[in-house]
């Protein structure tokens, strides 16, 4: 295929639109060379506040630049892209020497959605048994589909009856690769998840940009994926031109439904994958739902109103890293393979820059020493975080751990000397209180369900006070669950400087910098519910044998908090999530709301967070809505209670009184 204009139906679509900056496409990949002649002048924003981008001339950057050029290459440049008129967002989650996890990928999806993406392109993924993903990734995908954001992901290049995540997750449009005749490439995966919701697109010998100003040809599902994302973006632009609101979930379904199905009579000649499937039925399976038909998709979207069919993914577990690969000779690597090696580099017509002789294959990152990455964030203010979780600590290296073990005193138990155990939080608390300066060498972590999501780094003149507060929280987490001073959750407000730290298990987590103790709170759901009940005057009119009103209110507050902790858990890095998390720590704001609703015999149905239509100048205001229903009378109107939170500052603040109204 080589050239995008040769794709059937694309030239006609370009005559109608080449993009609209009201439609945003996010690319979750490696760093993008914004200075490349193909991308110069494109409305591209790179979100580099969470992870450092790595080597701008590295192999992961080559992959990210290639994918971006297929999507956004200027039509007056050396490489015309699919939708250069759309707004572009790059989330560089893949970097040299760093293992990318499904947790990182979920974080990147959240950031892309928060940046206003209508479409999220993921030319990578992880091989998964039964198409299952870690819970955090499944939740991120589900949030996108519920918000109308279309995720387009590569099916993977393992050439087998196997699934990649996130491509195999419900609500994702999976993309396999075919040649210029519409035949599946032998390396393109065709697992059950991809066959359920996927299609093929051109992915052979696609000409792409490489860092430094040159071009190359590359093949694989990594290149087919941005072609489908680009078509989806152009279809959304057509909907805008027709005066309708873009429905990206419906567009994704239209692309799948309008794909040309496999012809069993000719499919038998398809080149087989590494597992040797050669029967006609197996060959048709390699076509997924068919091959991309742009003309039919345009007709489907522009002539009849599409119906959204958002679905959700099941919670599941799989432990592995998410990677991209550009070497077809290793189709079975754990990260999957999404593009073959680049060939035949041609210098760009722009002023010459050093161009590599070839794009080297991407291999698995090599583990490095435990050091914080040194690259600062580039462009724009640091991203704010207000995260909820539990506190933990890590040593980073065996040497650091053994240093603590040697310095910590042993324990005397039943006249026997027991060696110090640095993994025992109680022993660690005693040691840190006797030696406060030793809190600094530890890597303090914020955890969700025992998984570290951030490294907490106190900075500035108030750093010692922050360390003291962390030691206190660690101590209180070890108390009995029914103790008034027990802590099972902490809140951490801070900023993301764009650095990561490598933990002892090899995981890289972003750093949160904290320079004040303000907003650094610790509590338990039970104790906070008890405090709310104590402060709230609840009528004591109960029927004989009924549960006391105070107990019902306490249970409601505890349920409200647990709902946020477990059902709505998040990274606290987006404005929406910061508002929701602050609602949990500021539950006293909702005490009268809960008391009033419970007094009417109602129960909490759901919690909704949406951008406030009104806000103070230079603010970031969000409305948190609590929706209650009558469990005994389904015909009774629901009751909505809303309060507004401004998350512009490091520590959010509530605005105005709680508002309430009935809802049919």
Band (pLDDT 50/70/90 cuts) for residue 560 is confident
What's residue 382's pLDDT? Answer: 72
DSSP secondary structure of 586-620: TGGGGHHHHHHHHHTT-EEEEEEEEE-S---TT--
What's residue 324's pLDDT? Answer: 54
What's residue 75's pLDDT? Answer: 95
Question: Rounded mean pLDDT of 487-512?
Answer: 92
- Per-residue tokens: 550: 């105070």
Higher pLDDT, 187 or 375: 187
Report whether CATH 3.40.50.200 matches the domain 4-346: yes
Strand arrangement, sheet containing 653-663: 603-611, 621-629, 638-646, 653-663
What's residue 432's pLDDT? Answer: 97
CA dihedral 386, 388, 389, 393 (to 10 degrees): 20
- Of the listed ranges 116-120, 172-176, 371-375, 563-567, the one predicted with least confidence: 371-375
Active site residues: 29, 63, 222
Residue 231 above 50 pLDDT?
Answer: yes
User: CB 416: neighbour CB atoms within 10 A?
Assistant: 8
Q: What are phi and psi of 632, to 5 degrees?
A: -100, -10
Residues 188, 189, 190: CA angle, nearest 5 degrees: 120
Sequence-ordered list of residues with C-beta below 8 angstroms from that of 484, at least 6 positions apart, any chain? 527, 530
What's residue 1's pLDDT? Answer: 52
Give the HSE-up count for residue 454: Cα atoms under 13 Å, Cβ half-sphere.
31
> What percent of the chain lies above the pLDDT cut of 70?
82
Contacts of 461-467 with C-beta under 8 Å, sequence gap 24+, read 461/515, 462/515, 462/516, 462/517, 463/515, 464/436, 465/517, 466/514, 466/515, 466/516, 466/517, 466/520, 467/436, 467/439, 467/440
Band (pLDDT 50/70/90 cuts) for residue 495 is very high
Average pLDDT score over the chain: 82
What's residue 554's pLDDT? Answer: 74
pLDDT digits (tens, 9 = 90+) for 411-458: 877 777 888 999 999 999 999 999 999 999 999 999 988 899 999 999
What's residue 126's pLDDT? Answer: 92
Among 2, 38, 103, 42, which Cα is nearest to 500's?
103
Contact between residue 525 and residue 565 where contact means Cβ atoms under 8 Å apart: yes
Intervals of CATH 3.40.50.200 along the chain: 4-346
Gap between the Cα atoms of 643 and 628, Å rounded: 14
- Per-residue tokens: 645: 């939170």
CA dihedral 152, 156, 159, 162 (to 10 degrees): -80
With tokens 């309708």, the residue in question is 244
pLDDT digits (tens, 9 = 90+) for 276-300: 444 445 678 889 999 999 999 999 9
Gap between the Cα atoms of 617 and 619, Å rounded: 5
pLDDT digits (tens, 9 = 90+) for 37-61: 999 889 999 988 777 656 666 788 8
Gap between the Cα atoms of 102 and 348, Å rounded: 36
Gap between the Cα atoms of 446 and 455, Å rounded: 6
What's residue 172's pLDDT? Answer: 96
With tokens 């009184």, the residue in question is 657
Q: What is the pTM of this model?
A: 0.78
Q: What are phi and psi of 312, to 5 degrees?
A: -120, 160
- Per-residue tokens: 14: 């370009």
- Per-residue tokens: 284: 């048709």
What's residue 362's pLDDT? Answer: 30
DSSP secondary structure of 361-393: PP-PPPP--S----PPP-SSPPEEEEEEEEEEE
């Amino acid at each position: 295929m080589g050239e995008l204009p040769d794709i059937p139906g694309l030239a006609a679509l370009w005559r109608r639109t080449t993009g609209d900056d009201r439609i945003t496409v996010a690319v979750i990949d490696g760093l993008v060379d914004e200075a490349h002649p193909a991308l110069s002048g494109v409305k591209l924003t790179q979100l580099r506040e969470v992870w450092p981008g790595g080597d701008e001339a590295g192999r992961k950057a080559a992959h990210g630049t290639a994918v971006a050029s297929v999507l956004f290459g200027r039509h007056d440049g050396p490489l015309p892209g699919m939708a250069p008129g759309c707004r572009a967002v790059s989330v560089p989650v893949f970097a040299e020497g760093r293992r990318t996890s499904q947790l990182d990928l979920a974080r990147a999806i959240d950031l892309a959605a928060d940046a206003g993406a209508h479409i999220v392109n993921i030319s990578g993924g992880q091989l998964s048994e039964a198409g299952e993903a870690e819970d955090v990734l499944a939740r991120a995908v589900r949030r996108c589909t519920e918000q109308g954001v279309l995720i387009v992901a590569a099916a993977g290049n393992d050439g087998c009856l196997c699934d990649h995540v996130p491509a195999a997750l419900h609500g994702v449009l999976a993309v396999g690769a075919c040649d210029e005749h519409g035949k599946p490439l032998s390396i393109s995966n065709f697992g059950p998840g991809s066959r359920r919701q996927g299609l093929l697109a051109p992915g052979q010998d696609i000409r792409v940009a490489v860092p430094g100003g040159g071009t190359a040809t590359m093949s694989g599902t990594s290149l087919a994926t941005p072609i489908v994302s680009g078509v989806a973006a152009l279809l959304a632009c057509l909907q805008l031109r027709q005066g309708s609101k873009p429905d990206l979930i419906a567009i994704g379904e239209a692309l799948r439904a309008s794909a040309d199905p496999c012809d069993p009579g000719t499919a038998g000649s398809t080149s087989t994958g590494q597992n040797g499937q050669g029967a006609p039925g197996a060959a048709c399976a390699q076509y997924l739902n068919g091959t991309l038909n742009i003309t039919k998709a345009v007709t489907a979207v522009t002539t009849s109103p599409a119906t959204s069919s958002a679905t959700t993914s099941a919670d599941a577990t799989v432990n592995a890293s998410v990677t991209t690969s550009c070497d077809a000779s290793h189709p079975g690597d754990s990260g999957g393979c999404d593009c073959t090696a680049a060939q035949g580099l041609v210098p760009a017509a722009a002023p010459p820059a050093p161009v590599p002789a070839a794009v080297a294959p991407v291999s698995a990152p090599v583990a490095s020493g435990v050091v914080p990455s040194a690259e600062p964030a580039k462009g724009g203010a640091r991203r704010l975080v207000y995260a909820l979780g539990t506190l933990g600590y890590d040593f980073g290296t065996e040497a650091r751990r053994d240093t603590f073990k040697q310095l910590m005193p042993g324990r005397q138990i039943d006249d026997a000397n027991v060696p110090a155990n640095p993994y025992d939080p109680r022993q660690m608390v005693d040691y840190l209180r006797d030696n406060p300066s030793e809190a600094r060498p530890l890597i303090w972590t914020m955890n969700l369900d025992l998984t570290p999501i951030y490294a907490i780094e106190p900075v500035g003149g108030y750093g010692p006070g922050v360390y003291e507060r962390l030691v206190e929280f660690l101590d209180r987490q070890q108390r009995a669950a029914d103790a008034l001073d027990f802590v099972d959750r902490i809140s951490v407000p801070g900023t993301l400087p764009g650095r990561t730290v490598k933990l002892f298990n090899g995981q890289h987590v972003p750093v949160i910098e904290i320079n004040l103790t303000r907003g650094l709170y610790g509590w338990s759901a039970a104790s906070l519910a008890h405090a709310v009940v104590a402060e709230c005057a609840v009528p004591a009119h109960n029927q004989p044998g009924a549960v006391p009103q105070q107990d019902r209110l306490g249970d409601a507050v505890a349920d409200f908090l647990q709902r946020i902790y477990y059902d709505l858990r998040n990274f606290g890095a987006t404005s929406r999530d910061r508002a929701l998390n602050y609602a949990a720590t500021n539950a006293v704001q909702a005490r009268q709301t809960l008391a009033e609703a419970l007094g009417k015999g109602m129960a909490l149905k759901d919690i909704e967070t949406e951008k406030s239509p009104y806000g103070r100048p230079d603010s970031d205001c969000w409305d948190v809505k609590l929706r209650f229903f009558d469990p005994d009378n389904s015909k009774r109107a629901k009751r909505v209670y809303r309060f507004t939170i401004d998350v512009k500052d490091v520590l959010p603040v509530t605005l105005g009184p709680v508002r309430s109204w009935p809802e049919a």
